[in-house]
Structure 1
């Protein structure tokens, strides 16, 4: 089944439903509105649109459930979000709130092949013995934890400032 075009807003609704429905498979419109900090009328409009696209099962005054295709699409969005969030927090040392904001905005535009490189790079930094670098608190660049170099090139790691 081909994935319908979704606006960033509808992707956010789909992702929210995905996370809210993990326990019992359902997401109440009230909970969606609360989580997204939007009005109930906005949730209703989004649920109708997602339902028309075959991604959500929705009836007025009832909880929403993801269709099989909706679950697949929402899962991909959630994976992008989590990968970007992890990259910003773990690799770049961005504070959680700011990392969340940028992950949410980038997940809608980043192509899958570029995201895959983000994920691979993040994994590399976790497991490569030669890449033992951290981002400086004052955002001036990387420093080498293994060799104690700050603000200078580490010849062993080849980190450049």
Structure 2
């Protein structure tokens, strides 16, 4: 899988969170609202994601994920959810703090380390 920037990973994750798939498009304005950014920022990020073949968007149309884009966005979201659950349930970090820290951690941890962490957490039954 092509690796993209942390910012672009956030866009893919947001699209998946909004219900976007390879079949179901989302609107740019909804992505902007979800991430708290301008529509111009969304358009710039989507242009970069189109170049990486992670999204499809006709000229100023709705955004649809490619197969690879959906897999990537779903993976980032899955990491976020597991890290959030671990931080809140196993460590006892308040949800608002855990949300921010999970968002940072989901981008920084390697795939190999995440797989080991995930196996460890599954063993904890968190």
- Report if TM-score (shorter chain) is over 0.5: yes
Paired residues of 1:51 and 1:58 also in contact (CA < 8 A): yes
- In 1: Cα distance, 2:84 partner to 2:31 partner: 21
Q: Are residues 1:13 and 2:11 paired?
A: yes
Inter-CA distance 65–108: structure 2 relative to 1 (3 Å threshold): same
Matches within 5 A, 1:9-158: 9-22=7-20, 25-126=24-125
Q: CA deviation at 1:68?
A: 0.8
Paired residues of 2:20 and 2:65 also in contact (CA < 8 A): no
Q: How many residues align?
A: 125
* 1:133 match: none
Q: CA deviation at 1:39?
A: 0.5
Q: CA deviation at 1:22?
A: 4.4
- In 2: Cα distance, 1:22 partner to 1:54 partner: 15
Q: CA deviation at 1:75?
A: 1.5
Q: CA deviation at 1:20?
A: 1.0
Off by >4 Å, runs of 4+ in structure 1: none
Paired residues of 1:54 and 1:67 also in contact (CA < 8 A): yes
Tell me how large the CA RMSD over aligned residues is: 1.7
Paired residues of 2:20 and 2:64 also in contact (CA < 8 A): no
Query: Which has more helix, going by share of residues?
Result: 2
The DSSP-based 3-state class of the residue aligned with 2:107 is coil
Of the two structures, which has the highest relative contact order with CA contacts closer than 8 Å and spacing of 6 or more?
2
Paired residues of 1:21 and 1:65 also in contact (CA < 8 A): no
- In 2: Cα distance, 1:112 partner to 1:85 partner: 17
Structure 1, unpaired ranges of 5+? 128-161
